[in-house]
Chains A and B, each alone.
Chain A
Amino acid sequence: MSVFSAIGEEREIDSNEFTPGIEPQATWCPGCGDFGVLKSLKQAMPEVGRSPDEVLMVTGIGCSGKLSSYFESYGFHTLHGRSLPIARAAKLANPGLEVIAAGGDGDGYGIGGNHFMHTARENHDMTYIVFNNEIFGLTKGQTSPTSPKGHKSKTQPHGSAKDPVRPLSLALASGASYIARTAAVNPNQAKEIIKEAIEHDGFAHIDFLTQCPTWNKDARQYVPYVDIQQSDDYDFDTHDRREAADMMFEAENALHEGQVLTGRFYVDDERPSYQQEKQATGEMPEEPLAERYFDEDYEWERTADSLLERHK
């Protein structure tokens, strides 16, 4: 039997395989946008041909962090904002794994902002889904990094004096090689984008708009949405960084004004992933490191054989 036989196994995969024996209702409120993410993700998996045993779902803290509980795969429910450093090391340790990281807007753009910038910059081959509902949900409705300017909450009673974070522009400036925005209210587009992101060979960032019916009272906050790829009004080249930047700028301004533009904004198929870069410089072995520990024929070198010479 091989070491990680789930990886690369060819078989029909059913989206029901990704349903564990635990119900999301435990945490997520009725009408929560997070259900939409989960559903689109489950539907995308058979299409990309990945089975639960070869997926590592790494999540942060908050309602979004529960995704690893409600999505059946190998999972790591980490700390607030820390999904990315854990996810990217797992990918380096075993590039055969399908690594998906997920978190919320506070998790991803607030406390984990530094990790977001650097993971995008390194262009790890993984998918990062940020559930963006413009609010801290699980801690009961505080202002988040994406809450609109002027947003009032118990912790910001005078209304936020801050401009919201611009996730798409931030991802682009940091170096993400696939950037999209979709919304839970548009499950078909969401599924397609998740599929593209998983298949993309580099860091794929999805700003996933999820409504919060409990703390952002308007459960339809992202309706109506516009799919920019389906609209004649938005014609730009997603492979052109400058045009993508302009489009992101427009989309982010529009969201502040209540207009929801979704779709893929930037795709760079040319840029090598971090793993490829590291392998090219000899900093990373070609074969998955994690396999080595199970290989009985592998000869483990002793430091005494090669490193002590310089100490003599």
Chain B
Amino acid sequence: MTEDLVWRIAGGSGDGIDSTSQNFAKALMRAGLHVFTHRHYPSRIRGGHTYVEVRASENPVNSRGNGYNCLLALGDSFARNPKENAIYGNEEIKPLAENLDELNEGGIIVYDEGLIDVSEVPNFEARVEENDWNVYPMDLRSLAREHGREVMRNTAGVGVTAALLDIDLKHIKELMRDAMRGDVLEANLDILQEAYDIVSEEEFSHDLRVPTGNHDEDQVLISASACIAYGALDEGCRFISGYPMTPWTEVFTIMSQNLSQFGGISEQVEDEIAAAALAIGASHAGVKSMSGSSGGGFALMGEPLGLAEMTETPVVLIEAMRAGPSTGMPTKPEQSDLESILYSSQGDSNRLVFAPGNAAEAYDQTREAFRLAYEYQIPSIIVIDQKISGEMVNVDESFFDREPNPDLGSVLTEDEIAKAAHHESGKFKRFLHDTENGVSPRTIPGQKGGRFLAAGNEHSEEGHISEDPVNRINQMARRAQKLEAIREDLDTNDASHQTTFGPEDAEYGIITWGSQQGAVMDAVSALNDAGHSVKGLGVSDLMPFPKKDLAAFLESVDEVIVVEMNATGQFRGLARKELGLYGEKMASLLKFDGNPFIPQDIVTAFEETIVEGKDDVSNERTKYLPEAGVIQ
């Protein structure tokens, strides 16, 4: 098997790391490769250690892989004053020093000797020798300065690594021409070519080359955040309201930047309570609407979320999780909001929750979340996290070749209102008890004859506040009935939200949910390649819970590891609650250090616990919880 290229560019936040890596990934994608990007950044505006990885392979990629093999270490132009070394350490060398741990044996290092003094990097020479790394220092800063400006040293770096890896500059140049104009473009093209030429003439000590790509379809490089935004737009969403918070801001920004072009409205408002309330208000008035937030901001949305449940106002909320509790680690991923998403807000929970496992699923499930929310008049929540929200992956362009669906679902026209049997005089029975699947017909303010009161208090069929016990039971039962109807709808729908992978008759299973799916997929492949018999299940439906799918998977294997990014095994707890058994089959592999699972974490845990029977794993960054709910 040809080795995948995993290229890492490191520098300070604000050094253009994001845009440079995106162009690099696109260039490789245009060359026919499958790509995947992974971002790591601090909660700091400028400076601080940040990196982006681009993995490129001739085969489809699901995760960042294990480690990486080519480092481009720029200087950090926003490094703090050297006097602050005592507090922050030597920031100038961090793009090199902080990235060595994960660099694979035999890997390549390109660093900017204009800014980085390797004699200050602890044990550098020894580590290079020990790991057989191939080091190519280059004064990227001077090269950039000579032709243009210092900030263009990332272009010089790209030229150097392109030469080292034998990457054709054609696509990179095309992308530069698309993005830049005039002197800036010329300077960048010159820098790129010169850096490439200088290095091409040298002899290399490494043999890593970019793999050969062979797509037969046009591709787009896209993140789950963009997929959520596009899924929403294609489903007819024309209103968004929000308050900025990392990482939800990505969806909010993409929507805000594009919505007016589609004739929609975006509102940045005073707080998250208002944000969710606005989306509910717009939806009540007949516009497909969404809002969202992250962790603490979503906690504020608990109140309006309950209102949407009680008034049966369709709305889609995004929860882009980050490490908690409280403000936690703003730029680090975690999957620890599951329980709060399922049950936040008072009363019996009545909502839909989906957690897509990759960008394409994010598009599909956003469309599904809107369809179901409007069809069944219930709030839908889409759960993503800091990892999946910004990582870019190539998807076939034809995947997005879909028809829009502006249907408001169970809304009546005025003609239908006039004919409605339960509309005699005065208020319309908006919350009619006696319906087939729990869904009562809906009217929109301004329609003749459709008047009703949407009340956050328990209410009668017309919407009047009511504490009548019989009405209460009828209304609760009807709202709960919708969840059952939706479960059936999902089961009969072609779009299964649970993703299975690996051999069907495998002996062991690995279950995960949401953003960790890719790493589990790669781990399952690696384990089968190593001769084990393992299959995987990525769960996306969290409410209504896919009991049948999960039970069938659990029945079919001897033992299961549940992989999730939190400290308490929240999904395993949910599965136990929903299924009421299989506790002895489910162990948890947990990680909550701010870094997502890499496939090797899961491979190691499987081999040590299931194969060797240890009751813990040697990786100190992961935590192993043996079987759940077994009475000792």
Q: Chain A interface (Cβ within 8 Å of chain B)?
A: 1-7, 9, 20-22, 52-54, 56, 58, 61, 66, 68-69, 72-79, 82, 85-94, 96-97, 114-115, 117-118, 278, 282-285, 289-290, 292-294, 298, 300-304, 306-308, 311-312
Contacts and interface: CB of A to CB of B under 8 A. Distances in A.
A92 B451 contact: no
B129 interface: no
B264 A300 contact: no
Contacts of A301: 262, 404
Given A68-B453, A75-B454, A53 B446 contact: yes
Contacts of A52: 451
Given A76-B454, A302-B234, A86 B281 contact: yes
Given A303-B233, A312-B397, A82 B413 contact: no
A61 B514 CA distance: 38
Given A72-B451, A85-B273, A93-B282, A290 B446 contact: yes
Nearest to A293: B408
Interface of B: 26, 30, 218-222, 226, 230, 233-234, 236, 238-239, 241, 258, 260-267, 269-271, 273-275, 277-289, 303-304, 307, 311, 397, 400-404, 406-408, 411, 413-415, 426-427, 444-457, 463-465
A85 B236 contact: no
Contacts of A69: 453, 455, 464-465
Given A3-B446, A69-B464, A94-B287, 16 more contacts: A1-B415, A4-B444, A22-B464, A74-B446, A75-B451, A79-B456, A85-B274, A93-B265, A93-B283, A97-B445, A114-B271, A118-B269, A302-B402, A303-B400, A307-B233, A308-B400
A34 to B, nearest CB: 15
Nearest to B223: A311
A283 B416 CA distance: 33
Contacts of A20: 426-427, 464
B400 A289 contact: no
B457 A77 contact: yes
Nearest to B258: A307
A240 to B, nearest CB: 29
Contacts of B465: 66, 69, 77
Among B222, B285, B303, B408, the one with the most A-chain Cβ atoms within 10 Å of its Cβ is B285
B464 to A, nearest CB: 6
A9 B413 CA distance: 17
A61 B263 CA distance: 34
A87 B239 contact: no
A85 B269 contact: yes
Contacts of A308: 220, 397, 400
Contacts of B274: 82, 85, 114-115, 118
Contact of A85 (B281, B414, B464): B281
Contacts of A89: 239, 241, 267, 277-282, 285, 289
Contacts of A53: 446-451
Given A3-B414, A308-B400, A289 B265 contact: yes
Listed from nearest, the 3 A-B pairs whose CB atoms lie closest are A89-B281, A4-B446, A290-B286
A255 to B, nearest CB: 28
Contact of A292 (B238, B279, B403, B427): B238
Contacts of A82: 273-274, 277, 303-304, 307
11 contacts: A3-B414, A53-B450, A53-B451, A75-B453, A86-B281, A90-B282, A97-B445, A118-B270, A285-B263, A289-B264, A303-B230
Contacts of A293: 236, 286-288, 406-408, 411
B312 to A, nearest CB: 12
B281 A88 contact: yes
B36 to A, nearest CB: 14
Contacts of B277: 78-79, 82, 85-86, 89
Among B282, B288, B427, B453, chain A packs the most CB atoms within 10 A around the CB of B453
Contacts of A6: 446-448
Nearest to A111: B273
B422 to A, nearest CB: 15
Nearest to A274: B267
B454 A93 contact: no
A56 B445 contact: yes
Contact of B261 (A1, A2, A75, A306): A306
Contact of B239 (A66, A77, A92, A282): A92
Contact of B265 (A58, A85, A86, A92): A92
Nearest to A78: B456
B287 A312 contact: no
A172 B222 CA distance: 46
A294 B288 CA distance: 12
Nearest to B405: A300
B446 A303 contact: no
B307 A78 contact: yes
Contact of A283 (B226, B265, B427): B265
Contacts of B456: 61, 77-79
A290 B287 contact: yes
B281 A4 contact: no
Contacts of B239: 89, 92-93, 289
Contacts of A289: 238-239, 263-265, 282, 286-287
Nearest to A8: B446
A304 B465 CA distance: 45
Contacts of B238: 289, 292
For B219, B279, B400, B411, the residue with the greatest tally of chain A CB atoms inside 10 Å of its CB is B400
A15 to B, nearest CB: 16
Kindly name the residue among A58, A86, A284, A308 whose own CB sees the greatest number of chain B CB atoms within 10 A.
A86
B286 A304 contact: no
A93 B226 CA distance: 24
B286 to A, nearest CB: 4
Contacts of A96: 446
Contacts of B219: 312
Contact of B285 (A68, A97, A117, A298): A97
